[in-house]
Amino acid sequence: MSSMLKGIAASNGIAIAKAYLLVEPDLSVERKEVGDTEAEVNRFREALATSTSELETIREKANVDLGADKAAIFDAHLLVLSDPELIAPIEDKIKNESLNAEASLKDTADMFVSMFESMDNEYMRERAADIRDVTKRVLSHLLGVQVSNPSMISEEVIIIAEDLTPSDTAQLNREFVKGFTTDIGGRTSHSAIMARSMEIPAVVGTKEVTSEIKNGDLVIVDGLNGEVHINPTQEVVNHYKNEYEQYEKQKAEWAKLVNEKTVSADGTHVELAANIGTPKDLEGVINNGGEAVGLYRTEFLYMGRNELPSEEEQFEAYKAVLEGMGDKPVVVRTLDVGGDKELPYLDLPKEMNPFLGYRAIRLCLDEQSIFRTQLRALLRASSYGNLKIMFPMISNLNEFREAKSILEEEKSKLADTGTKIADSIEVGIMVEIPSTAVMADVFAKEVDFFSIGTNDLIQYTMAADRMNERVSYLYQPYNPAILRLVKMVIDAAHKEGKWAGMCGEMAGDEIAIPILLGLGLDEFSMSATSILKARSQIRNLTKADMENLAQEVLQLDTNDSVIEAVKKVINE
């Protein structure tokens, strides 16, 4: 039967393909006494053999698709599968205690996992993770439950998941993964942001895709309207094929603006910049006519691995981005982990409120060696392009002053060694915490620029977790409370002769753009795939009219009244 679920439109575009469920299987184990222990040992050995051949196939595929270093993970898993120190005690348990294979495996593996995890040795803790993974695989065969192997996907699919972490998203193979949809998440969760930069249509926060969709169902992800259609009728499929073609045509129209400047109908130039996560995203920036990189989220360099990236590795990544952009500005944000971006290898304690916790600049000022390594890599790369450095999550002036003085210290140490560093590097901050927006006039005397991070600014101002789909209606970028804060920041910058940009998702939003133009925003930084559409929109707007519109909406009462007022003006 066909049905439809509503969610949050997280990444534009339309995808039609078969469903691939990426869900944690139910591997709960029942304890049972077995009569024929010999047969039970054989059943266990069969599960081991199936797991081994499955892992060998995955390893081969990973070797070809992802390279030898990623494939090495599976070598470690294969070693566990053939390790007599693990296998023998399981078989003994089956024989001596007449305990079923599932429970014998689980008891033994749990014992090793907790032993390795408690060791003060990173290598052993990683072995604990390997044992946990391998146990899951063998258990799935014993229980006859399917575990998903996303790296084995070899046909066009739509991923259906409860949630995707940013590193899950980074591993999606664009060739086969045509779209994704999740139960949880909001428009500004990082998996949604990454889907936009990868141009994968996505609908998040549907609450129930994983319970409504089965493997192999035909699914349409409508990332334009936030709809997921399950086993649609032929009529719906035809409708969407048509929508897809229209969307492609529209994109071809926008593409004609790739080499144009972004100028309003009455001649004001604003800068349209792109948000990137890795040097690989540069291609999209260039293809979409980005005039700058307004936000390089460097934390992705630290994710999906087992240790911190070295200074050299960071230097190469920053240099590649700076060189790739030539003389165009590149705003590099220093490490912003925490919230939904975890680095398991830092082994930080779990927090009740990770978005309000030990993250970003707070961690960097505390763990200074991590911060200083990054700053050195940035300073060394600075002579290869037009670098600007930006600190995330600044909540008060002391943090900015301390971060800046650490930067100055590293700069003078490097200069003493004769390292070439760019003559002038602008140093700015993200304005994403309300206390900083309120104090923008004071900050403006000390920073070189502001970039307003509305994804966090909205979550903190409205007190609504950006990952929680139940409160996603409080993500209200046009709420006059937010607009007034944005105005304070822009005015404060201009009063001191500084520039103000925005790198939250709001900067690429078609309802927000007219207001932001009217408020005098200088730089709009967004997913590269939104740039051409925004350019086309701005070329049709008159700045003087948008100034009037901005004045009007600042005095309105709710998010909805602002939407209405903007629509009236832009549809005229």
Residues of the shown chain interacting with ligand PEP in the complex, contacts defined by CB under 6 A: 188, 295, 297, 336, 432, 453-456, 503-504
Q: Distances from the Cα of 100 to the Cαs of 105, 111, 187, 438, in angstroms?
A: 9, 17, 46, 64
Residue nearer to Mg ion on the CB measure, 37 or 476:
476
Please select the residue that binds Mg ion; options are 40, 281, 456, 522, rule is CB under 5 A: 456
Q: Which one of ligand PEP, Mg ion, none interacts with residue 109, CB within 5 to 8 A by kind? A: none
Q: Which residue is nearest to Mg ion (CB)?
A: 456
Residue nearer to Mg ion on the CB measure, 51 or 189:
189
Q: Which one of Mg ion, ligand PEP, none interacts with residue 454, CB within 5 to 8 A by kind? A: ligand PEP
The verdict on whether residue 466 carries a ligand-binding annotation is yes
Residue nearer to Mg ion on the CB measure, 204 or 360:
360
- Pick the catalytic residue: 77, 141, 364, 503? 503
- Is 208 within 8 Å of 183 (Cβ atoms)? yes
- Give min distance, CB of 179 to ligand PEP, in A: 22
Taking the C-alpha atoms of residue 519 and residue 524, their distance in angstroms, rounded to an integer, is 12
Q: Which one of ligand PEP, Mg ion, none interacts with residue 525, CB within 5 to 8 A by kind? A: none
Taking the C-alpha atoms of residue 349 and residue 359, their distance in angstroms, rounded to an integer, is 12
- Give min distance, CB of 186 to Mg ion, in A: 13
- Give min distance, CB of 254 to ligand PEP, in A: 23
Residue nearer to ligand PEP on the CB measure, 158 or 193:
193
- DSSP of 494-558: HHTT-EEEE-SGGGG-TTHHHHHHHHT--EEEEEGGGHHHHHHHHHT--HHHHHHHHHHHHT-SS
Distance of CA 135 to the CA centre of its chain: 29
- Is 12 within 8 Å of 203 (Cβ atoms)? no
Instruction: Tell me if 453 contacts Mg ion by CB under 5 A.
Output: yes
The verdict on whether residue 297 carries a ligand-binding annotation is yes
Q: Is 364 a catalytic residue?
A: no
Q: Is 494 a catalytic residue?
A: no
- Give min distance, CB of 336 to ligand PEP, in A: 6
Residue nearer to ligand PEP on the CB measure, 12 or 188:
188
* Residue written as token pair 């763990």: 367
The verdict on whether residue 455 carries a ligand-binding annotation is yes
Segment 246 to 275, residues that bind Mg ion, using CB under 5 A: none
- Give min distance, CB of 526 to ligand PEP, in A: 10
Residue nearer to Mg ion on the CB measure, 179 or 453:
453
Residue nearer to ligand PEP on the CB measure, 164 or 228:
164
What HEC string does 34-63 produce? CCCHHHHHHHHHHHHHHHHHHHHHHHHHHH
| E strands in 321-379 | 329-333
Q: Distances from the Cα of 412 to the Cαs of 13, 320, 408, 409, 420, in angstroms?
A: 48, 24, 6, 5, 11
User: Segment contacting Mg ion (CB under 5 A): 265-273, 293-301, 403-411, 455-463?
Assistant: 455-463
- What element of type H or E holds 389? strand 386-391
Q: Which one of Mg ion, ligand PEP, none interacts with residue 324, CB within 5 to 8 A by kind? A: none
Given the DSSP bridges, would you call strands 292-297 and 271-276 parallel, antiparallel or unpaired? parallel
**Residues with Cβ within 8 Å of residue 49, at least 6 apart in sequence:** none
- Is 450 within 8 Å of 500 (Cβ atoms)? yes
What HEC string does 448-476 produce? CEEEECHHHHHHHHHCCCCCCHHHHHHCC
Residue nearer to ligand PEP on the CB measure, 336 or 410:
336
- Identity of the residue numbered 504: G
CA geometry: angle at 556 spanning 550 and 562, to 5°?
65
- Give min distance, CB of 549 to ligand PEP, in A: 23
- Pick the catalytic residue: 77, 190, 229, 364? 190
Q: Is the dihedral of CA 555, 556, 559, 564 positive or negative?
A: negative
- Give min distance, CB of 503 to Mg ion, in A: 8
128's tokens: 């604990």
Q: Which one of Mg ion, ligand PEP, none interacts with residue 101, CB within 5 to 8 A by kind? A: none
What are the contacts of 69-73 at 24+ separation with CB within 8 A?
none
Task: Report residue 527: phi and psi, to 5°.
Answer: -55, 135
User: Segment contacting Mg ion (CB under 5 A): 127-135, 440-448, 454-462, 507-515?
Assistant: 454-462
- Give min distance, CB of 103 to Mg ion, in A: 45
Segment 409 to 448, residues that bind Mg ion, using CB under 5 A: 432
Please give the order of strands across the beta sheet that includes 177-182: 3-6, 227-230, 218-222, 14-22, 157-161, 177-182, 202-204, 8-11
Residue nearer to Mg ion on the CB measure, 456 or 509:
456
What are the contacts of 233-240 at 24+ separation with CB within 8 A?
233/2, 236/2, 237/16, 240/14, 240/16
Instruction: Tell me if 465 contacts Mg ion by CB under 5 A.
Output: no
The verdict on whether residue 401 carries a ligand-binding annotation is no
Q: Which one of ligand PEP, Mg ion, none interacts with residue 504, CB within 5 to 8 A by kind? A: ligand PEP
- Give min distance, CB of 473 to ligand PEP, in A: 18
Taking the C-alpha atoms of residue 512 and residue 476, their distance in angstroms, rounded to an integer, is 11
Q: Which one of ligand PEP, Mg ion, none interacts with residue 489, CB within 5 to 8 A by kind? A: none
Q: Reduce the DSSP state of residue 238 to 3 states and report it.
A: helix
Annotated binding site, which residues? 297, 333, 432, 455-456, 466
What is the binding site for Mg ion (CB under 5 A)?
A: 432, 453, 456
Binding residues for Mg(2+): 432, 456
Catalytic residues: 190, 503
Please state the residue numbers annotated as binding site for phosphoenolpyruvate.
Answer: 297, 333, 455-456, 466
